[in-house]
A and B are shown apart, each in its own frame.
Chain A
Amino acid sequence: MSFPWAKQYSPGNDFTKWVDEKLPLPRLVYNAVGAGYPVPRNLSYMWNFGVLAGFCLVLQIVTGVILAMHYAPNALVAFSSTEHIMRDVNWGWMLRYAHANGASFFFLVLYLHIFRGLYYSSYKAPREMIWLLGVVIFLLVMATAFMGYVLPWGQMSFWGAKVITGLFGAIPLVGEPIQIWLLGGYAPDNAALNRFFSLHFLLPFVTAGVIILHIWSLHIPGSSNPTGVEVKSESDTVPFHPYYTAKDGFGLGVFLIAYMAMVFFLPNYLGHADNYIEANPLATPANIVPEWYFWPFYAILRAFTFDFILPAKLWGVIGMFSSILLWFILPWLDRSPVRSGHYRPLFRKFFWFGLIPCILVLGYCGGAHLSTFTILASQIATAYYFLHFLVILPLLSSFEKPEPLPYSITEAVLGSDKKAVLGENTSPAV
């Protein structure tokens, strides 16, 4: 489905006509990311990050497939095969640093993409399915990143795997058998490393499949926009190509500059020194921490310290998983008819002065050495995190008086919309 004024694909010569009859793939691309997809004309740079996330996935698959040609998933040699890539494989050091930092930049871009969705309520009808598929993609990428971090078989790889699979051990009664089944043993060893490698190779392709569904469901209602007002007429949109291909091209350039600066000048800045020590089941690192992109969730895990009916560890596991799974019901929690945070004065305050500082505090506490201060701070932030999504958002629309919305995207951009003046369409904005 698309808007009636969307441009139609017309094959230019006999060959493209022939292809279009047998397999209309060029038509599909034209309608998906070409001139055949009308997009709101007022998208800000916050709308760049979907394309960038897709780019990151392709980059991770390309670098990852080449790294897999040189890596050996065996606990005896995994660490030295990683060093072999760093020292002996032509440009191996560049591939590995690009892949390791690529994971960080993938998450950075995903977080900005999710942040955009939360502020502009991109999850609201008619776009619930896009949001749900997006949460599935996020979970898949998290699982892939976790298993990828285990592969170099350094100290943090080993102990990270031990801690995370240990979370399943917190499940009552069946926890321990599940943990042993997942690891293929009592502790991470060759069996675990092999299955993590296999899944780390598989899941990115599953992710790519879900991304196709994500984009498919996006093309039914069309893209959201910063006003949150739906597209009304042709003057509200521009064709994706060349307008947004050009804008995304510039965004990609800025992204690549930041990413390459990191790869070539600070490649180990985001990593942990302990992962350059080979895995040793007999020596526990002083501070087991995951990569930075898991810090907020790790802080939630560690915030539950009191055995309230259930053991504290189980509360931590339930809290950590719930903190992401609750996004699945978000479209039905936030009932305000207004989408964009621009026009919601109360929502805006809770978002900027509540949620954002709360997530930054959780991120800091998750990465820092455990201390009384970080524990207490992460407990307050965890409480706010759940209050924000599960209590404040559902109640907010009852108290909030939204600011007046523009009649249309055209009016928001140009200051006036001729059709509004003519009274052609008098249905209420939204």
Chain B
Amino acid sequence: MVRLLAIGAGLLFTLVVMISFVADAYNAATTDTPETAEYVFHEEARSPDGGWSFNGPLGKWDIAQLQRGYKVYKEVCSACHGMKFVAFRNLADLGYTENQIRAEAATWQVPGIDPATGEATMRAAEPTDYIPSPYPNDVAAAAANNNAIPPDLSLITKARHHGTDYVYSLLSGYQPIPNELKAEFPEFKTPAGLYYNPYFQYLNIAMAPPLTSSGQVTYDDDTESTIPQMAEDVTAFLTWSAEPTLVKRKQTGWPVLIFLLFATILAWMAKQQIWSAVKPAKRKD
């Protein structure tokens, strides 16, 4: 009885799903889905030449690069993007001393309360403050940016697929619409207030090109601040901000794995030793 009911139910499910199959296959065969410019001209994110210092199981931060990246963030990105999960005290990871961090924090203004009147005011930041957003709220952010809210950058490289390569490619990938695209999709346009970037999913992105010319940021070391270099440095900084424990994590992993390998070999030998007593070859009966 159970089996008869089951066979009935099984055939019913098969029938229903095969009707769906026939309907969908018929639709797919009779409707012609045209290829889109977004599909054909979207490009996969790429790494810079030489890759990233922090990639791979032995990866390490390039401290000088993180410092340069912070400078690019401060002088360029922070005009529109905040970083609410990164405090100035965290900059110790970038090799700054306590006094340097105190001085650096003081160059930023954060919302505060006037101690005399209780009125809202702005004050110099302290090491315990978090990197502020340039906008008081999302409405102000949208109003100032053609209705596109600039996302907080704390986690940006983890919040995008292949995030580190994606951010680097996006920052260095602005270009005029290619002639092949114009020829293939004559109706494709970049509306006013948007910019063509093949690394962006929809090809037209609301963010104006942030890095526009070599020397836009004056580096403190003798690295030349070309556009790809600035894109690479700020992306490294954003990778650190998304996961400050990335290098510590990999460095912790090695002793853990080596210990486990050793323990597992011992466990294997113990198992062999114990089972040797009942292995077929050694049995007498």
Contact = CB atoms under 8 A, between A and B. Distances in A.
Interface of A: 41, 80, 83, 86-87, 93-94, 97, 235, 238, 242-243, 246-247, 249-250, 252-254, 256-257, 260-261, 263-265, 267-268, 273-274, 276-277, 286, 303-306, 308, 312, 315, 319, 322, 326, 329, 332-333, 335, 372, 375-376, 379-380, 382-383, 386-387, 389-391, 394-395, 413-415, 418
B123 interface: no
A253 B275 contact: no
Interface string B249-265: 11011001100110110
A308 B19 contact: yes
Given A335-B3, A391-B10, A264 B257 contact: yes
Given A246-B274, A249-B271, A332-B3, A83 B155 contact: yes
Nearest to B281: A414
Given A303-B17, A326-B6, 14 more contacts: A94-B249, A265-B57, A273-B160, A276-B158, A305-B20, A306-B19, A308-B19, A322-B9, A333-B2, A379-B24, A390-B7, A390-B11, A413-B280, A414-B283
Interface of B: 2-3, 6-7, 9-11, 13-21, 23-25, 28, 57, 84-85, 90, 151, 154-155, 158-161, 163, 201, 242-245, 249-250, 252-253, 256-257, 260-261, 263-264, 267-268, 270-271, 274-275, 278, 280, 283, 285
B19 A386 contact: no
A379 B253 contact: no
Given A242-B274, A274-B159, A312-B20, A265 B245 contact: no
Contact of A383 (B2, B13, B160, B278): B13
Contacts of B163: 273
A391 B245 contact: no
Contacts of B161: 273
Contact of B264 (A246, A254, A383): A254
- Interface majority SS on A: helix, strand, loop or mixed? helix
Given A268-B158, A329-B6, A380-B21, A315 B16 contact: yes
Contacts of B19: 306, 308
A195 to B, nearest CB: 27
A107 B186 CA distance: 50
Contacts of A390: 6-7, 9-11, 13
7 contacts: A242-B274, A257-B257, A273-B159, A273-B160, A276-B242, A312-B20, A386-B17
Contacts of A260: 253, 256-257, 260
B244 A87 contact: yes
A86 B241 CA distance: 12
Contacts of A319: 13, 16-17
Contacts of A274: 159
A403 B283 CA distance: 28
Given A329-B2, A390-B9, A83 B85 contact: yes
Contacts of A305: 20, 23-24
Nearest to B18: A383
Contacts of A395: 7
Nearest to B268: A250
A286 B10 CA distance: 34
Contacts of A243: 274-275, 278
A375 B260 contact: no
A271 B85 CA distance: 21
Contact of A418 (B16, B160, B285): B285
B159 to A, nearest CB: 4
B14 A273 contact: no
Nearest to B21: A379
A386 B10 contact: yes
Contact of B24 (A254, A375, A389): A375
Contact of B159 (A277, A306, A332, A387): A277
Given A41-B278, A375-B24, A413-B280, A256 B260 contact: yes
Contact of A286 (B14, B201, B267): B201
Contacts of A322: 9, 13
Contacts of A306: 16, 19-20, 23-24
A302 B258 CA distance: 44
Contacts of B57: 265
Contacts of A335: 3
Of the candidates B17, B25, B158, B268, the one having the most CB atoms from chain A within 10 angstroms of its own CB is B17
A80 B85 contact: yes
Contacts of B275: 243, 246-247
Would you list the 4 A-B pairs with minimal beta carbon distance, nearest first? A390-B10, A264-B253, A253-B264, A276-B159
Nearest to A417: B285
